[in-house]
Homo-oligomer: A and B are copies of this chain.
Amino acid sequence: MGGYTLSKVVKIALDAMGGDSAPASVVDGADIAKAKSPHIEILFVGDENIIRPLLGKSKFFKNAEVFHTDQAVSSSDTASQAVRRGRDSSMWLAIAEVAANRADAIVSAGNTGALMAMAKLQLRTMPGITRPAIAGFFPTEHNPMCMLDLGANLECDEENLVQFALMGQAFYLSLMGKVNPSVGLLNVGEEEQKGHEYLRLAAQELSNPDLGVNYCGFVEGSDLVKGSVDIVVTDGFSGNVALKTAEGVAGLFALMLRRTFRASLLSRVGYLFARNALKLFRARMDPRRYNGAVFLGLNGIAVKSHGGTDALGFSNAIDVAANLVDHGFIPDVSAAIKKADLIRDKRKICNE
């Protein structure tokens, strides 16, 4: 799959039918992304009868390419149903463009399970990777933190976790530009004797200096937003629970705060005075800024947008895809995994 490094034009295939407010949020999101990154080209995959009128009102995509299909994956489909029946769906066909090297990345706000299953089938897992993972960013007190896996693998072993750390490192470098980002393993305490057996084994492997991972030990749920490490590695069950709990608590706070400012005339006046500062606060905590989870470990770039996001959130997912293409993410991951495999093989030979 060519064209990942320093390509002048980045072509992104969008599943225009995935997401709660698709295709409007997809078309508008593409406009926002193009204004920011003029070097992107978009292929819209979906129902041309609905998409074309929306493109008429678009700033950059009046004459954009639309790959027509009237089929779409439903949010209620299971992954296996989607794979069996959805070969003509906008999601499948958008991924196929990447598999056939006609696009550099695919972005969808549709059904996560279906997207993962279809992406695995068409893009295939990278040589040496046992399981792909879903990675995403969280806001913290300091720099954004990357967590993986967010739900692709409910049960993991130490080998999976070590690979997640390596993939996370390459991912963080691509998107945040930080060399040698720090890695923590999510656990129920920082002490070494705590937690599952496979966590202790993963900790041991990650501490091997030959691996080249800047491993900083166990972290807890409360560390996630402190920014104490750049990358948090965990199994997909805990990662999904942590992600959704964080989203829920953030949403509750925002709701209660809105109610607080509406509670009385005085508090409304207070809001008016503090409005500008509160806008900055909201902007910093805005979940749309962190939208765009990436499937790591595949031979191609697939980005999952939150299904409930709007055009601004969707544009961020497109940005994530474009940045990964720009920074040669796929060859980076591939090199890291090869190195880890060599270390593992060497150790096996030494142990024999």
Contacts and interface: CB of A to CB of B under 8 A. Distances in A.
A259 B280 CA distance: 11
B248 A260 contact: no
B273 A249 contact: no
A237 B78 contact: no
A345 interface: no
How many of these chains are in the complex? 2
Contacts of A196: 154-155, 237
Interface stretch (A62-70, A202-210, A263-271): A263-271
Main secondary structure of the interface of A (DSSP, over half): helix
Interface of A: 76, 78, 113, 139-141, 151, 154-155, 186, 188-189, 191, 193, 195-196, 220-226, 234, 236-238, 240-253, 255-257, 259-261, 263-264, 266-267, 269-278, 280-281, 284-285
A131 to B, nearest CB: 15
B221 A245 contact: yes
A259 B284 CA distance: 12
Contacts of A272: 270
A241 B223 CA distance: 10
Contacts of A195: 154, 237
A8 B27 CA distance: 69
A142 to B, nearest CB: 11
Contact of A248 (B189, B223, B243): B223
Contact of A241 (B193, B238, B253): B238
Nearest to A192: B78
10 contacts: A76-B191, A140-B252, A141-B255, A188-B236, A245-B246, A246-B248, A256-B285, A267-B274, A269-B274, A270-B271
B266 A274 contact: yes
A186 B273 contact: no
B241 A188 contact: yes
- Pick from A141, A246, A251, A280 the residue with the most CB of B within 10 Å: A246
B250 A221 contact: no
